[in-house]
Copies of this chain bind each other. A is one copy, B any other.
Amino acid sequence: MIKAAIIAIGDELLIGETINTNSAWLGKELTALGITVNSSIIISDNKDSIINSILQLAEINNIIITTGGLGPTKDDITKKAVATYFGVDFTEDTFTRKHLVEYFSRRGKAITELHFEQALLPSCSSALINSVGTAPGIYTFLNDKLYFNLPGVPREMKSIFEDNIINIINDYKSNQNEDYFVYKTIYTTGIVESEIAKRISYLDDENESIKFAYLPSYSGVRLRLGVLNSELEANSNLIYDIENMIYKHLETHIIEEGKPILEAFQEYFLKNNWTISVAESCTGGGLGSLLTELSGSSKILEGGFIVYSNKAKKELLNVKESTLAEFGAVSEETAIELAYNCRLKMQTDFAISITGIAGPNGGTDEKPIGTVWIGVSDSKETKATKFVFLKNREANRELSKYTALSMLYRKLKYNI
């Protein structure tokens, strides 16, 4: 197997002031490339720590990636540590110098000597272009191992990885005798991990050469099938058959676009020129916020209503006093009135309503914490469905949002 180690550099990560999302992102990307992520550590902004960690991890890994400590401030000592580790001096990279001059002139800012220091690289290394910032990534190939040093700013780290490193690793893979995994991901929606396992785990049990992984998150469960590159050809029919069986067993829970539900939902709506509006109680605007996360959302979301109080439900969306008195704010009837009236007021093709008990207070025996009614309205019908999620406020709000998207997506795609 080709093995990788990730080293995140920064005191702010050790003391928890910043959550280390870089290492998770890199772990995911490397795994998708078939690389086995073997170690992931956080270390202090300290030259000796950096050198010792690289030394130790390079013994057992093919690929070493560091993040952090590449900017022009005095704290940023990764480059010095790397040069010491390789026992080399610095050489100016002319391409990076040119890039820096252009970067600053385009922004109308003055460039200083401090900035030009970013063009100095360890003599045995090359620059990896950073199209969204000033600090280039550093790439060193030595003794059949790959070393990458990336900035800590997530946007820059990701951009350098995507623009440069994926190709380098793919080349490396094809030149190595080491085996690696090739993956196929299937996105699902509106179905929990245990139910997926119930339906398809026999496929996992029966096929040892295919590695199954269930990857749950609030937005849905991804299924990943892995096969060793060396066994890919021999198993191509098998993989094809397994995929078909999975599609058959999970049917309306498959996201056809092969993307997370939010992306798929937006793409599907854009393709059909559909519009949507929202009426939110317990999510307080979270569904609208989610639906506007991606660029281009203004073509699908018209707007909506945050109807947190009963007064707001009545005055903004004409929920009847008698409905609230008889059935309560968290009820099928209220969810239906909210969705129906929202769609009429907003003149959209669809409307979604969410009303529930997020917790930690407000639960009863009849309507425990986690009870959420989600309504969906279009020109033909308005329906609401009841869910009982969890005991946790944050989880209930997240699950409500993604379940709402899932409901409407599956209704439209699969007519359910």
Contact B284 A289 (CB under 8 A): yes
| Listed stretches A35-43, A73-81, A197-205; interface member | A35-43
Contact B312 A285 (CB under 8 A): no
CA distance A278 to B12 in the complex (A): 34
For residues 8 through 51 of chain A, which have their beta carbon under 8 Å from a beta carbon of chain B? 12-21, 23-31, 37-44
Known: A14-B27, A21-B19, A39-B41. A298 touches B305 (CB 8 A): no
CA distance A303 to B17 in the complex (A): 33
Chain B: which residue is nearest A17 at the CB level? B215
Contact A285 B295 (CB under 8 A): no
For residues 263 through 319 of chain A, which have their beta carbon under 8 Å from a beta carbon of chain B? 278, 280, 282-289, 291-293, 295, 297-298, 301-309, 311-312, 315-316
CA distance A41 to B39 in the complex (A): 8
Contact A291 B284 (CB under 8 A): yes
Q: Is the interface of A mostly helix, strand, loop or mixed?
A: mixed
A360 interface residue (CB < 8 Å to B)? yes
A228 interface residue (CB < 8 Å to B)? no
Known: A286-B289, A289-B286. A295 touches B41 (CB 8 A): no
A392 interface residue (CB < 8 Å to B)? yes
| B residues near A278, Cβ cutoff 8 Å | 285, 306
Among the listed B16, B25, B26, B285, which residue makes an inter-chain contact with A284, where contact means beta carbons less than 8 Å apart?
Answer: B285
| B residues near A291, Cβ cutoff 8 Å | 284
Contact A16 B24 (CB under 8 A): yes
Kindly provide the distance from the CB of A347 to the nearest chain B CB, expressed in whole angstroms: 8
A262 interface residue (CB < 8 Å to B)? no
Q: Interface 1/0s, chain A 360-374, versus B by CB < 8 A?
A: 110000000000000
A346 interface residue (CB < 8 Å to B)? yes
A411 interface residue (CB < 8 Å to B)? no
Contact B298 A288 (CB under 8 A): no
A393 interface residue (CB < 8 Å to B)? yes
Known: A37-B14, A41-B39, A284-B285. A303 touches B305 (CB 8 A): yes
| B residues near A16, Cβ cutoff 8 Å | 23-29, 31, 37
Known: A286-B285, A306-B288, A306-B303. A28 touches B24 (CB 8 A): no
Among the listed B24, B155, B285, which residue makes an inter-chain contact with A285, where contact means beta carbons less than 8 Å apart?
Answer: B285
Contact B298 A289 (CB under 8 A): no
Contact A13 B17 (CB under 8 A): no
Chain B: which residue is nearest A27 at the CB level? B16
CA distance A81 to B86 in the complex (A): 36
Contact A20 B24 (CB under 8 A): yes
Among the listed B25, B42, B284, B361, which residue makes an inter-chain contact with A288, where contact means beta carbons less than 8 Å apart?
Answer: B284
CA distance A295 to B297 in the complex (A): 30
| B residues near A361, Cβ cutoff 8 Å | 295
Known: A15-B31, A24-B19, A40-B13. A298 touches B306 (CB 8 A): no
Known: A20-B24, A31-B16, A40-B13. A308 touches B312 (CB 8 A): no
Kindly provide the distance from the CB of A225 to the nearest chain B CB, expressed in whole angstroms: 15
CA distance A13 to B37 in the complex (A): 10
CA distance A309 to B280 in the complex (A): 18
CA distance A161 to B40 in the complex (A): 24
19 CB-based A-B contacts, threshold 8 Å: A13-B24, A14-B27, A14-B38, A14-B40, A15-B27, A16-B24, A39-B42, A41-B41, A155-B392, A284-B288, A284-B291, A284-B292, A285-B286, A286-B286, A292-B308, A295-B360, A298-B309, A302-B309, A303-B307
